[in-house]
Structure 1
Amino acid sequence: MNAFTKKPGRRDAQKDATRARILETARDHFERHGFEAASVRAIAADAGVAAGTVLLHFEDKRALLHAALFDDLAATAAEAARDEAPGTLEERLHRLASAFFGYYARRPALSKTLLRESLFADPPWQARFAEQVGAAHGRVVALFDAARARGEVAEGADAALFGVAFFSFYYFALIAWVQGAHPAPVALVDRLVAQHLCGLRPADHPGRSR
């Protein structure tokens, strides 16, 4: 191997590093200037690349926005999945919701723009976001199954249906937060989950609704 031969994988690593730098710069621009005011040219300049390089990685400014949300949610979900601390179903769901709302709170302006745009994402982002939701739903189902094995919920309770209910609560709180209608979305999710679980407890559980 001569001095001018690149090691295997080096080109891919450089490409990934450039992509990550562009995305981080885009996040900063979207947060400070808003989606409409941010420009690909300015993002490229601050990332230290040509505008054409940005467009090689991302089709347009909206694709940059979707990629930023997708990557951030993927990282947040991966971190949440590593949570193996003990706790009741309600406690673990609280930590799960807190992980995502914590991300939104760190970049509030960007998150609100990202969330509005992602609700109407075009392919392929539509399918990618759906996959993320499906994986998160699977996580909730697993937590519910574990709680059922511990006797926290009734044997006949439907885990998949509970997962759907949890996400309905989560999205309701998320929309309320985006609209500025509720300042404490995690607390709202907690209350909705607690009320829903009252009807799913075993007959002898102290939290069973009468």
Structure 2
Amino acid sequence: MSNEPRKQRPGLRASQKEATGKAVLEAAREEFERVGFEAANLRAIAARAGVSAGTVIHHYGDKRELLHAALFDDLDETLRQALAGLGPGPLEKQLSELTRAVFGYYQRRPKLSRTLLKESLFADEPWARKFTAQAGMVHGALARLATEASARGELRPGADGALFAAAYLSFFYFALISWVQGAHPSPVSMVEHLVHQHLEGLRPVRKTPSRRSAR
């Protein structure tokens, strides 16, 4: 008798566990968006995912742990895809593409975005460390884009990529907070205008010919 079926079982179980986990996370996002975090309950999430409440607890523990897992996983994938999908420069165009891709994620689930903003900024460990590392990943990618733009001559020599990345993130979070609070209807345009204004101060200085040299 062949042992092949037995060899496949661990891989099959792992695949089924991963599929169940993804189904639970997606169900949690939908339920949190539908009724809000406080009103959501594990039984409703389990029913939406087609599993038992015990399965949800086994995979993710309590409701807050499930919330963190659902938010982090979804946002992480969105950020990585957005960064990987950026086309070639110029820098301002790349940043516009990134802004629109990430805000598109928030705008698809406005209620969940409020929770995401709060939890990502003020989460307890170990999630605080994970969200911090996630922000660090984006910061590093933005710093590289700015450094590459400087090498292309779009920004003046010596422009600090890390400081520019911090400036972009401050613009992004300011616009996100304004949008979540209902203070600004178009967060993408706000970020684009702030970025444009900031970039203008980092452009190479173009020397104008003096009157004597022009003669």
**What's the TM-score, normalizing by structure 2?**
0.90
Task: Name the residue aligned to 1:14.
Answer: 16
Question: Which amino acid is 2:151 matched to?
Answer: A
The whole-number CA distance in structure 2 between the counterparts of 1:4 and 1:86 is: 48
Question: Which amino acid is 1:16 matched to?
Answer: E
* Closer/same/farther in 2, CA of residues 84 and 94 from structure 1, 3 Å limit: closer
SS in 1 for 2:122: coil
CA contact 1:141–1:163 (8 Å) conserved in 2? yes
The whole-number CA distance in structure 2 between the counterparts of 1:36 and 1:99 is: 28
Task: Name the residue aligned to 1:145.
Answer: 147
Deviation of residue 124 (structure 1)? 0.9
The whole-number CA distance in structure 1 between the counterparts of 2:207 and 2:57 is: 57
* Closer/same/farther in 2, CA of residues 205 and 86 from structure 1, 3 Å limit: farther
The whole-number CA distance in structure 1 between the counterparts of 2:79 and 2:169 is: 14
Structure 1: which 4+ aligned runs deviate by more than 6 Å? none
Deviation of residue 132 (structure 1)? 0.7
Asked if residue 114 in structure 1 is aligned to residue 116 in structure 2, the reply is yes
Q: Write 1 or 2 for the structure with the bigger share of helix.
A: 2
Asked if residue 199 in structure 1 is aligned to residue 201 in structure 2, the reply is yes
Which residue of 144, 153, 156 corresponds with 1:154?
156
Count, aligned residues: 206
Task: Name the residue aligned to 2:192.
Answer: 190
Asked if residue 175 in structure 1 is aligned to residue 177 in structure 2, the reply is yes
Task: Name the residue aligned to 2:83.
Answer: 81
Deviation of residue 46 (structure 1)? 2.3
CA contact 2:147–2:159 (8 Å) conserved in 1? no
Identify unmatched segments of 5+ residues in structure 1: none
Q: Deviations over 1:102-146 (max 9, x none)?
A: 001111112222222222111111111111101101110111011
SS in 1 for 2:182: coil
SS in 1 for 2:144: helix
Q: Which structure's CA Rg is the greater one? A: 2
Deviation of residue 48 (structure 1)? 2.0
The whole-number CA distance in structure 2 between the counterparts of 1:52 and 1:142 is: 45
CA contact 1:26–1:43 (8 Å) conserved in 2? yes
Q: Deviations over 1:178-205 (max 9, x none)?
A: 1011111111111111111122111118
Identify unmatched segments of 5+ residues in structure 2: 209-215
Instruction: State the superposition RMSD in angstroms.
Output: 1.8
Task: Name the residue aligned to 2:50.
Answer: 48
CA contact 1:152–1:205 (8 Å) conserved in 2? no
SS in 2 for 1:62: helix
Deviation of residue 6 (structure 1)? 5.5
Which residue of 21, 26, 29 corresponds with 1:27?
29
The whole-number CA distance in structure 1 between the counterparts of 2:207 and 2:196 is: 14
Asked if residue 136 in structure 1 is aligned to residue 138 in structure 2, the reply is yes
